[in-house]
Structure 1
Amino acid sequence: MPIEFPKISASKGTQELIVRQAILGRQGEVVGYELFVRDEDDGPLTDPFLSSARVMFKTFSVFNVEQLLGGKPAFINFNNSYFDEESLALFPPKQIIPAFTITEAPSHDFIEKLMNLQKRGFRLALDRFEGVAWQMALLKLMDFVKVDTNTNEPAAWEAWINMVRKANLASTPALIATRVETQAIARRCFEIGVDYSQGYYFMRPEIVAGRTLTENQRTIFNLLNLLAEENPLSDIEETFRKDPSLSYQLLRYLNSAGLTRGQEIDSIRRALILLGRQPLQRWLTLLLFASQGGHKSPLLVIAATRARLAEMLRERSTLLESHPLALHRSFLVGMLSLLNACLEQPMAGLLDELRLCPEMRAAIMEHQGEDGILLQVIEAAERGDIDVVRDRAASLGFTIADITRMSLESMAWATSLE
């Protein structure tokens, strides 16, 4: 039974990217997203109010908000010069958290608007906190405070974090460290009392010398190699038999995904036949990224988004081969492109152990070939690099609007994974 992918409609005329960046808790769980727009002509939109308005309109009027956010709140940026309380009040307060960048001491009128938003049920965030006196005075109105760790020296942002933590408040706002680029900075932020972090650090592997695959990971690698090399079903079945936990996960997946078609699954062999080789490869690759804790790994969501988007780009391009094997290869390339971040080991060594074909290896390591171009588009869309998206998308026969629609469909599918 083929997997059904959710559809998200978008205006064919839009030439903008909506970028979604995760905000993570201490255990790596996703607690929310920041949404922002990249415009085809201007990159980041030059009018801050227009940018915020477009994000809100598209999030709640054009796209399916549940699929885009997965039930998490969206942080959307405003400042005190471009802010319309009544327009913001048209949107659901549980799903939007206005994040204010305030560049000068706010007026009484502005503070009154903030208080009115609170009365309507909105939670508020203060962005780019730097310990200025009038920022300190606003803390009592804030539920979140965001501190930039990238453009400021560590001594400065650590001092600002301590100022918030030690402020004499009835309720201390939650601290969010932004633009966190390395695992080391993320750890330091949490050590000194930050509640959440935002940045691409979790996608950048922290290579640990001497780290090897766990027994479970090695079993999955072995199964992926057996499948890629088209070994007999009996070899694959025997590997599953040696790992009761993996066998249980396979049977649970078949039942939860509704793939049993009402049939009783009385053996691993029957389960393998019912699922098929290519779907089994996909499931095992997803399993490598699955969190071992009680929450969904953000790497799983991003890797799955890449995988589905790579497959979709190939499927819908009139300039690329779209036979089933090519689609399957693109899916795996997208998924495996973050394997080093997942396992915190050098990519070259991991790909050696997986014994990938030269084309897949070149796509992942050097962004070469058709799948390499697909990865270039996908990674540029993640960064909001609209110039690269436009150029690479055009070489595949797509517009920015096409990439936006397919990106959001892919996010929806990845967010829905259990």
Structure 2
Amino acid sequence: MSSTTEQNIPPADTAAPQEDVDASNMAVIARQAIVDHNRAVYGYELFDRSTASDAHTAASDAALLFNALSYAGTEALVGKKTVFINCTHESLAGGHLELIHPEKVVLEVPPLPDTATQEEIDQRVPVLQALCERGFRLALNQNALRKPYASWMPLASFIKLDLQTFKPELAGPLVKFASQYAKATLVAEKVETAEQFKMMSDLGVKLFQGFWFAKPSLVKATTIRPSQATIIQLINLVRKQADTSEIEDLLKKDPTLSFNLLRFINSSGFGLSCEVTSFRHAVMILGLKKLFRWAALLMTTSRDGAPPAVGQTAVVRGRLMELLAAELLPPEECDNAFVVGVFSLLDTMLNVPLEKALESVALPQAVTDALLHGTGVFAPFLELTKACESGDDATFARMADELHLSNRQINWAHLQALAWAEDLNGD
């Protein structure tokens, strides 16, 4: 659901210019490739560029991961590769990690401040152990090779060695020490020359990251976000353990909410083997606990304000198509008719071509055919719906005749759809 562009940016520890970022609807994520000895991409480390570099908090960690999976077009951003995410110790205990598939994500764990006591270091072990038991892999930096962190070492899947922090002659002893005391895969980072790459490769290091391979690239992703009022409605429904049908009704009333949910649940980070194409299926797959987590996190990254006029129009289209389809099609097709109507304005919501907008969400072929090609079973309903909207009497008459619907049936459905959409602000 995103329009993405990439460009080279300064090193990861240098903040991107803030004037380039429209915080209201732009997720800005930097990624840098991590490659193997053949220079094939193994994974990507992601950095949040939506906020200043010194604003790295548990909340920003959660927002980065959420944006990467929900907003920024995951396939374009990381594909099927492993994602490395920098974490704070606070965020390592965060509920947002319950939303993602552990096998897709490596959590980069920082050392504690130099003032930390041995007891404070050891107290972190249960949290790290629990993450490993859930299937996450942990990456530690070379500071964890120090004696106080001995209790952390068995939990490390990766150890990152920063070439800018030690002299070349110390590389051999450091690699030997790390290999001896940890079973982790070593990653040489901040590799800037061919000589550094060869040196570390000859020492048996398996993975590499740095400017010599690729500078971080900036991915700007246009986003659409529901109003907080709508998200609160969803949270309240989940908290009272409402029926799936009630939750489905709310999703139908807010195209931004439903689109974000389908986009998120079908992202590679969620780890499903099948595509979810209906709201009811999404709710059932996610379950109330994860749906609550998702809604709560979405609220932290949303912007306030009533649904825009285009969103209201999309809701009317969806409901009208659903009602018209109910006259002629089997019940299971009515939900798809609704999706066609709601998503027919995604290009306007996102300010990108509709084909691009639809790339990032799983939809049945019949829905895509109607939206992109004006063909298939739903196309006549969409054309009739647009004619109702625009007052195009000729098209209205032609499509009504083709579908064998009376003026009375269509006008009644249109009034019902308008009334239903108005309820969005009154629920």
**Which category of TM-score, normalised to the shorter sequence, fits these structures?**
0.3 to 0.5
TM-score normalized by structure 2?
0.42
- Higher-Rg member (1/2): 2
TM-score normalized by structure 1?
0.43
